[in-house]
Chains A and B, each alone.
Chain A
């Protein structure tokens, strides 16, 4: 089956139904292994056990940004090709991305309390991630305000494209403004600066969370397609009885 075949919603539903149990099982397995590795990972010589918050914090941040990136690609699909599956992707990913962004903010502030002495500072990185969360909530509000799904999709797509300006600001905020949040230590020129004893469990946790993200997104997309079919059937029924 070619990838292009998945553009058909019915084929996509078949694929999702077949793939979801496997993806779910794989997610559980990788999580079990990754959590085990994270537990046996050594404590930091300065931060002690609190460094383990990173195993939740960093994947949350990555996936919060990946979510908006996916929505941006889907927004192009909505506006350029008018593809219904792109609408479904954008709508399904928004709450999941918002949840991961919230996870990043909550774990970050719990980590900040022992390390920086405060739950929150108005640092550039923290502020731009908070703006990302507000943008997510704005898009979700827009989805919930417009009744017709395809019109809601196009409105949300335009807002998504404008909001994508925030992504490079988040990524480079630690380089442009020298503040409390540490600069990038994994994806940087010259390779990661984290010791393998921490980097390997971190990568495993990131993989596990990515699998969770994909599973949740696929399930949400399936539900959204079914919800739209129910809506269409109801509309047909209503027009038939009147």
Chain B
């Protein structure tokens, strides 16, 4: 338990210090959302209708952004070898690193989402639904992304490959996240159905992600 807490704190410290990616993710999120009205035109009623979808898409891209360094940096400075030879189960270490990644990139997105939602003309119920779906759905993005990050750990063009491998797997999360956020605003479908499926996807990814990523790391580092 101590080892896992140490890894969690270490990863969060690295993320917020110079060279870390914590706040760049939020900045990226803001920039992507800002670009959309330039492409679509500043039609407020249109933006209100597609706002949740844009925010979900931007959050998906932003949480992918920092993932390629998640294991690669540890691989370069040798700490991944120490973790692999250590006594703590690799699956738990991977899960702790995923949690740290979510706390430093996912959580800031959730805090920023209501403010950025104002730019897209979202009203209070839509904002609340969006924050709720982000809170439940973004961990799935991080934990599915872990698999890609582990597969690409030793590759030189890992970042690009990571996106190609991970994005198709995140399709269900995107579908049900946006469906739940839209259901709360536009109706007539109930909010609960897509929202509970989103929760199920997150729970499944919490299990599948660490195990697959740990298996990939063991294979890569042999």
Contacts and interface: CB of A to CB of B under 8 A. Distances in A.
Contact of B147 (A131, A145, A151, A162): A162
Contacts of A142: 151, 161, 165
Contact of A141 (B161, B220, B222): B161
Contact of B220 (A127, A131, A138, A155): A155
A141 B164 contact: yes
Interface in B191-222: 208, 212, 215-216, 219-220, 222
A151 B219 contact: yes
Contact of B165 (A146, A154, A159): A159
B36 interface: no
Given A142-B151, A145-B157, A162 B219 contact: no
B161 A162 contact: no
Contacts of A163: 168-169
B168 A145 contact: no
Interface residues of B, number: 20
Interface in A55-104: 79
B171 A79 contact: no
B164 A131 contact: no
B155 interface: yes
A145 B148 CA distance: 14
Contacts of A225: none
Interface in B134-170: 147, 151, 154-155, 157, 161, 164-165, 167-169
Given A134-B168, A137-B164, A142-B161, A155 B151 contact: yes
B38 to A, nearest CB: 25
Given A142-B161, A146-B155, A162 B220 contact: no
A161 B222 CA distance: 20
Contacts of B216: 155, 158
Interface in A163-212: 163, 169
A38 interface: no
A135 interface: yes
Nearest to A133: B168
Interface in B162-185: 164-165, 167-169, 171-172
A137 B161 CA distance: 11
A209 to B, nearest CB: 25
A161 B165 contact: no
A159 B151 contact: yes
A131 B147 CA distance: 17
A137 B216 CA distance: 19
Interface pairs A-B: 6 shortest CB-CB: A154-B219, A134-B168, A138-B165, A158-B216, A131-B168, A155-B151
29 contacts: A79-B219, A127-B171, A131-B171, A134-B164, A134-B167, A134-B168, A135-B168, A135-B169, A138-B165, A138-B168, A141-B165, A145-B155, A145-B157, A145-B161, A146-B155, A151-B219, A151-B220, A151-B222, A154-B220, A155-B151, A155-B216, A155-B219, A158-B147, A158-B151, A158-B215, A158-B216, A159-B147, A159-B151, A162-B169
Interface of B: 147, 151, 154-155, 157, 161, 164-165, 167-169, 171-172, 208, 212, 215-216, 219-220, 222
Given A141-B161, A145-B161, A169-B172, 6 more contacts: A134-B167, A138-B164, A151-B219, A158-B215, A162-B208, A163-B169
